Structure formats: structure tokens, C-alpha cells
Structure 1
Amino acid sequence: MFELFSYGDAGWGDEILRGLAITVQLAIVTLPVGLLLGFLAAAASMSRLLPLRLLGFGYTTVMRGLPEILTLFVVYNGAGLLINAVLRWWAPEAAPTDFSPFAAGVVALGMVFGAFAAEVLRGAFQSLDSGQAEAGRAIGMTGRQIFLRIRLPQVWRFALPGLGNLWINMLKDTALVSVIALDDLMRMTKVAVGVTKQPFTFYLLACLIYWAMCVMSELVLAQMERRANRGIRRA
């Protein structure tokens, strides 16, 4: 059985590792995209301007109500059609192009992550004590200084547990990109199963790899939470 996981033509070890690398890259690239969308959506939903509030709440409501795999299909196929339509308008003689499955995965998973992160961040911002910002203004701090030195560190502390859960969910959701032909861990596992006819062996290996990534993420998140809460007195 161990020969199945060896390198070279006789085994599938190198293919599984390449798929794992793509899965990790996809998750790491998606994280800042999702956080940026989350901050923008949270800011819009807390804006004093009604159109921005409607835009923020509309985005989070729609994205949280759609299945992730449906969002992935819409982004992958819709973005491809949009790109080709723009190319035909800009350069009619240009050949059609395909939208990258990796880019589609980043956009789709980032949009989903951002919608849920927006609600976590909005709750964190609303839990802040407004008196601290007033104290900052009283000593002459600018709005930017108040945000960076008073509000953002506390928002990070309050939002970190929720964002950590979203990261773990997103890490597992990367398996969905296998349906759009991205050679991630799940797709390479399916290919290995199709060739070797050993579904239990390879799917069990994939389970262990995803579980190991989630455990390592939880250890890192626990350390980040301890650092974010340093100096905070426990009740």
C-alpha cells in the first residue's frame, strides 16, 4: 500500500503534494481578499449613508444565502463570459480566453469569506466603548490615530475567534474548486482514486491531510488569541 504514496511513476506522492501546495496557496491568497471585502462591507453597513448601508447589508445577505459551490460556478463561468465580452468589444480579432480556475477560486471563496467576516467585524466594531474614542479626541488624536491605536487593536481581539472559525471553514471549502478543474488536493485525490481504484485509501489520506491543516491552524489561532489578549484581566 505504501508504494501508492511513493514518488515517480509508481506512486502518487508527488501528485498529492502538488495538490496540497495548490490548496494551501489558494487559502493563503484568498484570506487577504476576504478580509479586505469584509472590512469594506462592515464599513458600508455601518455607514451613515443609506445607499452604502443598503449595499453592505445586501452584499452580506446575498452571499451568505448562496451555496459556496453555486457562487464558484457563477464566478467561474460569469467572469469568463464578461472577460470575453470585453475583449470582443476592445479587440474584435482577439481570440477567446479562459478564466483561470485559481483566480475564480480566490474570487468566489473571497466573496463568501468577506460576507461572513463582515458580520463578525461589524459586531466587533459595535462592541467597542465609544468613550475611548472620545478620550482620544480629547487628547488631540486624529481620526486615523484613533482608528489605528484604539479601535483596530480591540476589534482584532474581539473578531479573532470568529475570523479563525471562518478561516478553518474556508480552508475546507477549498476542496470545492476541484469541480472547476483546479489541480488541488481534492482533485488529485479523485484522479488517484480513478486510476488505482483505491477510494478508501486515498480519501482517508485526504481526510487526514485536511484534519492536520485544521489542527495546525487551531494551534496558530490559539497563540494569536493569547497574544491579542495579553494584559487583559480574566474575570
Structure 2
Amino acid sequence: MARRSKAQREHSRVSMAPINATRGDEENTIPAPTDSDDSRSVVSGVSSLASRASDSVRCVVDARVADLKNTIHNVRRQCKRAKTAASGLRAKAKSAAAEAEDARADAARKDRLIDALRRDKHMFYMRNQRASQKLDSAVDDAQSFSLKEKGVFTPRVREMTRNLTAICKVPIVNVGAVIETCAKGFRKTLIGGSMDKHSASRIALEGHVASDMQLVQEIHEASGKQNY
């Protein structure tokens, strides 16, 4: 038969103490119990011990169940908070992605605007350069007077030479000097050569020939009209 441990013996002693106390009182007041009384006392003590053990186990189980319920409640609360936090993070991530997309689109628009401004700047720069060149050319043209174009006296110079000789009665040898004097008076710089007496003579002769040809043509036209 296995020996009981010290704790088991102590527990049995404590459990049997009320029974022994009752038994002692009965011994002091009544005659010595019989064998049947001892059996009933033992059964009653064992039943009381079993009831106490059952109550103790029930208390332990109830405490454990309450602890598990509390743990489950806490875990559920943690899971709920975690889900809420995850939902918030997903919303923030979605908002951040939308903001990033808007930022990329805005950057693309700004890049296109910068490219357009650069093209406009280049266009205005080239236009300004051409305008400056045209202005310089216009100033030069305003301050100069060209007698020749591609080595030939211009029609305007030829007409002026004929007018000087025919209308103003300027001698052929003085036509060039008169043109230079007029240019200086108007603050013009003569370019393209000068007018010498030979050139003035040829231009005047061309005028006479043209005048004669025109006269002959008018005579022919007048004769044709009379014959008609």
C-alpha cells in the first residue's frame, strides 16, 4: 500500500478535525460509540471532505474561467483596435497615393508649362534679335543713300540726273557735285560709288533718246488716227 505524503496527511487531519471534535464531545456526554456509529462518522467525514474538495475545485475552475473570459475580452479589444488602426492606415495610404498622383500630374503640367515658356522665350529672343537687326538696318538706310544697286545706277538716281540737267539746267560736269551737296544737306551718306561727268552724260543722253523715241511714237500714233 502506497504511503501518503505529508501534505495529504495534514489535509486529512484538518478535514477530520471537526469529526474528531464532535466525536470527543459525544464521548464526554454519551457512552462509547458502537461499530455502527463509527462507520456513520467515517462516511459523514468523507462526504464532508468530498464536498469541500468539490467546492475548492469549483472555485478554482470558476476563477480560471473568469480569467480566460477576461483574457478573451482583452484579446478581442486588441483585435478590434488593430483592425481600426489597420483601416486607418489603409485610408492614409490611399490618401497618400492620391496625393502622390496629384503631385505627379501637377509636376507634369508644370514641366509642360516650363517647356512652353522656354519656347516662347526663345521665340521672343529671336524676334527681338531680328527686330534689332531690322532697326539697325532701317537706321542705316535712313542715314544713307545708295546710288547703285548691283553696280548699276538706280532708276531713281537716273531720273534725278535727268531732272537736274533738263529742268534745273545743271551742267553735266556738276551733276555729281550737286547730288553730293544735296545728300550732305539732308545728312545722308552716299554709298555705292559716285556720279562722274561720263555717267551723267550717258544718263542725260538716254533721256534725250527716250524722249525722241516717245516723240516718234506719238507722231506715229497721231498719223494712224488721222488715216483712220
Radius of gyration: which is bigger? 2
Whether these two folds match at TM > 0.5 is no
For CA contacts below 8 A with separation 6 or more, give which structure has more relative contact order.
1
Shorter-normalised TM range: under 0.3
Higher strand share: 2
